[in-house]
Chain A
Amino acid sequence: MNIGQLVIDGLVAGAMYAIMASGLSLVWGTVGILNFAHGEFYMIGGYALYFTLVELNANPLLAVIAAVLVTFGIGAFVEMGVLRWLLNRREWELPTLVATLGLSVFLQNLALRSFGATDKSVPYLFHSVYHVGRVTIASQRVAIVAVAVIAFALLWGAMRFTRFGIGLRATAQDRDAATLMGIDVKKIYLLAFAISAALAALAATMLSPIFSINPWMGARPLLKAIVVVVLGGMGSIEGAIIGGFGLGIIESIGVALVSSEWEDVIAFGLLILTLWLKPSGLFGTREA
């Protein structure tokens, strides 16, 4: 067994789990919503990339930026159109869960009706392949990790130093107190949701050349992201990053030991085990 190759493959998958999970965690930690439609933002990002890159023949960098921006806009639209109406209720936890579930079903099947069930593929954005000892890495995969690292650095910096980030963390701690301190909670929620959608789209633009684009493409990344968020602790970006890479490597090695049909069982087993033994996750502070 080539451990080096497995770890590298795990890191690449983990980078994307981590990006998906940090977006999911951003909304879960601040607004308190488990967004079942997060995978559909990933799907929208994938289709947006396909249409700009393949149908419009745009420059790859422009296509990626366009896909991320389009999904950012759709995320903001969803927050204003759906979630905003539910968050002021006394009982909002269940309705928001159901609303995002409904959205997920709606968007997935709308995509199926509009774009069909056939897989669409986009070309690799980068083409060269590196060999380091026994390890083979396509530059597309190097780019995935690089993009993930840049995205995390930006996200971490934004959370730490910008007015938005500070307001976001304050809102996550105590929504009422944050409102009293003059933070526009509505704006914070809107931005958090839109950024979360944009992160999902970013993950999709990097992964679409490797996997194909179809209406269901978001389901598995969502499930993996949920596992990572539970593993790392809700609302913790660091937890999402470490949990993401951790899950990627565990899966990559686990699949080499058993077989690929059981890949999801490894992830779900980890999830159930975490909820059972340490419900607050590895880095979280809140009780489940």
Chain B
Amino acid sequence: MKLRPVLGATIGGAIVLAFLPLACHNQYLMHVAVIAFIFAALTASWNLVGGYGGMFTFGHQAFFGLGAYTAALLAINLGWSPYAGIFAGGMFATIAGIIIGVPVLRLRGAPYISIATLAFAEVVRIIADNLTKLTHGETGLVGIPTLPSFALPGIGQVTFSLADSRPYYYVSLMALVAVLVIVGLLLSTRVGLALGAIRDSPEAAESLGVALTTYKVLIFLTSSFIAGCIGGLYAFVVSVLTPSTVLSVEIMVQIIAMALIGGLGTFFGPVLGALILTVGLELLRAFSDWQLVIYGALLVVVVIALPGGLISLPKRITEIAGRIVSAPKSRPAADSVAISNRFEQEKP
């Protein structure tokens, strides 16, 4: 993957989004945007494993939740700075990633990786649920401080409070950009090439000297670290944690829906999916009760009708339009169409 266009688009998009709070004064919409950025970053981190790595893990919520609880508990009980807590959350998630990743990533079948990671995440959730002295279980962990305020030259004092979502907006936007930059940097190196090779044919890649397990574990841990940090940030944004909000399977379902609907294994697809699903469904408030029904149905429809996700939609439309225009002429054989599509997909 070429780094420059991807980074350019990321930073360009971020600059456009940075002007949004100037035009929009609705606190509620700002908060929705914060959640959308956080989920976009989380989905992008899972996409590294599930999309680029081809390992359909089902326990990403464990790293998110562990990061959230670690950061929150360190801030509450030991008075750590939230920023140190967020980093510690990432580190703790990485350690958890080592514990589950090393045995699990040797498995080949997609369903086995899914269920092993799911089992791990459920164990984490049950433990968090039952360690009520530490986590307060479903009663909720409260008393999480806000991010510390600081002075910015030219802007003045920046204070984080529940009343004003704008500082959180910028922090979560920066977090999203940071995650995308890390993912982009990683994919532009040898790792990106190796991942592509592993995804296309694990056997061939291994026979050519690509250290399969090393690369798999490497991106799995990177992804766990990012998810842990994002979880830490989330803790300070929402300020109340319960196992069912940060550790439930529902988070994973949302991540998968966002990645798949946006475009699995593409750089911007998962971000697009997260933004569209969070903001789009929030705009359709009338259907909010039906949110998960819509998620489920969309997943099925997209998998059947648009396997490349929304990000492949423009290409699909031109493809179909081209086919209609050139219909009377002889078409290339179906096989060569499939092959050329494959090669096009490999390009960023």
Give A contacts to B, CB under 8 Å: 28, 34, 82, 85-86, 89-90, 93-95, 97-99, 101-110, 113, 223, 226-227, 230, 261-262, 264-265, 268-269, 271-272, 275-276, 279, 287-288
B23 to chain A, nearest CB (A): 35
Judge whether A261 and B126 touch: CB under 8 Å.
Answer: yes
Contact partner of A105 (CB less than 8 A), chosen from B56, B110, B299, B303, is B299
Judge whether A279 and B111 touch: CB under 8 Å.
Answer: no
Judge whether A106 and B297 touch: CB under 8 Å.
Answer: yes
B6 CB-CB contact with A under 8 Å: no
Q: How far is the CA of A93 from the CA of B130 in the complex (A)?
A: 35
Judge whether B107 and A102 touch: CB under 8 Å.
Answer: no
> Chain B contacts of A104 at CB under 8 A?
296
Number of interface residues of B (CB under 8 A): 40
In the complex, besides A99-B304, A102-B300, A272-B120, 14 extra interface pairs with C-beta distance below 8 angstroms are A82-B300, A97-B56, A101-B299, A102-B295, A102-B296, A102-B299, A105-B295, A106-B297, A109-B293, A271-B116, A271-B119, A272-B116, A272-B123, A288-B107
B7 CB-CB contact with A under 8 Å: no
Judge whether B303 and A102 touch: CB under 8 Å.
Answer: yes
Chain A facing B: main interface SS: helix
A217 to chain B, nearest CB (A): 15
B186 CB-CB contact with A under 8 Å: no
Segment 199-258 of B: residues with Cβ below 8 Å from A: 253, 256-257
Judge whether B112 and A288 touch: CB under 8 Å.
Answer: yes
> Chain A contacts of B297 at CB under 8 A?
102, 106
> Chain A contacts of B130 at CB under 8 A?
261-262
Contacts known (A109-B292, A275-B103, A279-B107); A98 close to B112, Cβ less than 8 A: no
Q: Which residue of A lies closest to B54 (CB)?
A: A94
> Chain A contacts of B296 at CB under 8 A?
102-110
B193 CB-CB contact with A under 8 Å: no
B112 to chain A, nearest CB (A): 4
Segment 68-119 of B: residues with Cβ below 8 Å from A: 100, 103-104, 107-112, 114-116, 119
Judge whether B300 and A97 touch: CB under 8 Å.
Answer: no
Q: How far is the CA of A106 from the CA of B110 in the complex (A)?
A: 22
Q: Which residue of B lies closest to A270 (CB)?
A: B119
A240 to chain B, nearest CB (A): 15
Judge whether A94 and B290 touch: CB under 8 Å.
Answer: no
Contacts known (A102-B303, A230-B115, A262-B130); A268 close to B292, Cβ less than 8 A: no
